[in-house]
Structure 1
Amino acid sequence: MTDTTPAGVAATYFGALAQGDIPTVMAQFSPDVVWHQPGSHQFSGTHTGIDGVGALLGGMMQASEGSFALVVTGPAMVNGEMVALPVRFSGNRADGSMDMAGVDLLTVRNGKIIAVHLFSEDATSEDAFWGQR
């Protein structure tokens, strides 16, 4: 039986992300998920639906030459439907790298992620890595 609580969905999502299990990652999203990507770079803004989020994540992997990685660095903090997790994310490519802390805030309803809000400790460096719009 799958744990459909907010904490359970978050654990499944981040576990699958760590293993590179993209089908399981994508299966955690509601069809009308809304992803809020911070910053002023080519991936910034609001991405909607599974196709929009899939395109975003695929674009990030391509732009990072397949090196983008995210690791959970502390316990999940749950407040009703919201789950906040401290993370560290990184990427490398021939002309640059990034490595910084952040917080991922997921909103989970009816066993699916309906919203994602991301926070990074160094928006300027993240913008530089991903490239301007």
Structure 2
Amino acid sequence: MKAKEVVAAYSIALSKGDIPTAFSYFSPNAKWHQPGNHQYAGTKNGLEAIGKMLGDMMTATQGSLVVKPAGAMMVNANLVSFPVHFSGKIGEKTIAMNGIDLFEVVDGKIVQVWLFSEDQDAEDIFWG
């Protein structure tokens, strides 16, 4: 599977809420680089840590966190840039902004993910 196909398959599974299938596209030793200065920021190493972070984010937002494609994926060798729009709600706080998710794919598996937000300060306030 080419890098773009791997990321597309991951995105489709994630959009359906099929976490086991989504995670099947990751290397067990994947690294997830969550930007910012909030409780979820930092590099998560391995599927267990990544899964815990994403699960905690879904719990905090009571399942309202949604990430949707916001443009075409772009490929540079084994890197895939994926424009997204994400939104969610925690109590009275809401977030809705664009970002870029950058995936590194090696041997058909996602090995690293870097996230970028259009307003990191606002995202930091949202996540607390």
Shared fold (TM-score, shorter chain, > 0.5) = yes
Deviation per CA, 1:32-86, whole angstroms, max 9, x where unpaired? 0000000000000000101011011101101111111100111110001100011
Find the partner of 1:109 among 100, 106, 110: 106
Question: Which residue does 2:86 correspond to in 1?
Answer: 89
Provide structure 1 residue ranges, at least 5 long, that are not aligned to the other structure.
Answer: none
Structure-1 separation of matches of 2:100 and 2:46: 21
Structure-1 separation of matches of 2:127 and 2:69: 21
TM normalised by structure 1 equals: 0.94
Query: What SS is found at the alignment partner of 1:59?
Result: helix
Question: Which residue does 1:18 correspond to in 2?
Answer: 15
RMSD value over aligned CA atoms? 0.7
Find the partner of 1:52 among 45, 49, 53: 49
Confirm or deny that 1:66 pairs with 2:50: no
Segments of 4+ moved more than 2 angstroms? none
Contact 2:30/2:45 (8 A) holds in 1: yes
Report the AA paired with residue 116 of structure 1. Answer: V
Find the partner of 1:123 among 106, 110, 120: 120
Find the partner of 1:79 among 73, 76, 79: 76
Report the AA paired with residue 28 of structure 2. Answer: P
Q: How high is the sequence identity, in percent, across the aligned residues?
A: 47
